[in-house]
Structure 1
């Protein structure tokens, strides 16, 4: 079949009962996503202006993934930091989740979203693999715009979902979404969005988190070119 004739599955947003039912299919409850983000917000709020630039954003990213793992590991989930991508792996090894910062209408049904910070080759490979199993055709020889044969993927790969988060005045907007394409170094195309938020800022009575703490967030998974100095 000519790949130009492939029919793309529709991008979908699940909310309310549909979102919760989809999470249960994945072995998750809304609290499994909300609680880690709220705990991470408390930790990030402890950073001050005399911390390193971007410290709060880094703390939120690493602690969000840590708390997700700590909540799910007792339920049989695993984890890996391979290629510096923090992933929590489902008990049957069929998919993983990585919490990363998002931009755009995160957590809004029908909204256009993308990853906030540039991503490198390791993330691109994950996204390409996602397309190979959830894109236009499960066995497409090549992915859109990429001369990258699907059979070159490593045999132990599985789909990776992104837990996108964004700090707003209404709370931490988030969604669990499956990425399937990129524009440059930004992941910007998705197959499915599961929306059950927003999350609060945690603490007893709420932590007042300065929204600017997310402005200088670390580039979580960026390839840095290195050149020999003559």
Structure 2
């Protein structure tokens, strides 16, 4: 693997959190070939489709729709710019034009989007996702390594960023917090909670939209974590 190092300061130096009000957000995203507008547009479109749900739908449906549509709309936005899609081990990814890193999406805890707090993924992740986080950790510890393309499924063996998002109920409707963050440790309980770099995105207010704050989401039934009983 050559090319993009996930963080500009090098693999051993922890980067500060890039806050949503800082011009560095746009500059940092631009270095990755992304933009606030591109991600914002994908999230807004995903929320619009999620809002078609009603309380009569299965409780997991709004979250699954938002997660799935976020991935789809990110792909629709960036594939014309040379990005590609891949789903190694059923983990849907957006892969950079260089092939050097990928982006996954996941719901996050209530700390998502706050620079002063440390978020985690909302739910435990399965083995395929955690292997990607372990690959991030190996990169940070030992630097980039060459991977033979023919020995890897498309999208495997490369660093993975996570677009975390969290819905918060407000008096007017729903506020969506989001960040693009690079995990550096798979943890021990299945939830990703350690981040090497975090890029905090501006929040989005959806006035009058149904909150659906208690739904389940992302990869339910696809990548199920299994733990040995003590």
TM-score strictly above 0.5: yes
Give the distance between the partners of 1:139 and 1:52, measured in 2 at CA: 43
Indicate whether 1:176 and 2:180 are aligned.
yes
SS in 1 for 2:193: strand
SS in 1 for 2:204: coil
Matches within 5 A, 1:42-121: 42-121=48-127
Give the distance between the partners of 1:8 and 1:88, measured in 2 at CA: 25
| Paired residues of 2:46 and 2:69 also in contact (CA < 8 A) | yes
TM-score calculated relative to the size of structure 2: 0.80
The residue number in structure 2 matching 1:165 is: 165
Give the distance between the partners of 1:138 and 1:195, measured in 2 at CA: 25
For residues 82-103 of structure 1, give each alpha carbon's deviation from its aligned partner in whole angstroms, at most 9, with x where no partner exists.
2121100111111111111000
Give the distance between the partners of 1:29 and 1:42, measured in 2 at CA: 20
Q: Could you tell me which runs of 5 or more consecutive residues in structure 1 were left unpaired when the two chains were aligned.
A: 1-6, 141-150, 226-230
Displacement, 1:222? 2.8
Question: Which one has the largest radius of gyration?
Answer: 1
SS in 1 for 2:165: strand
Q: Could you tell me which runs of 5 or more consecutive residues in structure 2 were left unpaired when the two chains were aligned.
A: 1-10
| Paired residues of 1:95 and 1:161 also in contact (CA < 8 A) | yes
Task: Extract structure 1 runs of 4+ deviating beyond 3 A.
Answer: 218-221
Displacement, 1:209? 2.5
Give the distance between the partners of 1:218 and 1:98, measured in 2 at CA: 11
Aligned residues: 204
193, 216, 225: which one pairs with 1:188? 193
Matches within 5 A, 1:202-213: 206-212=207-213
Give the distance between the partners of 1:193 and 1:9, measured in 2 at CA: 14
19, 27, 32: which one pairs with 2:38? 32
Computed over aligned residues only, the root mean square deviation of the Cα atoms, in angstroms, reads 2.6
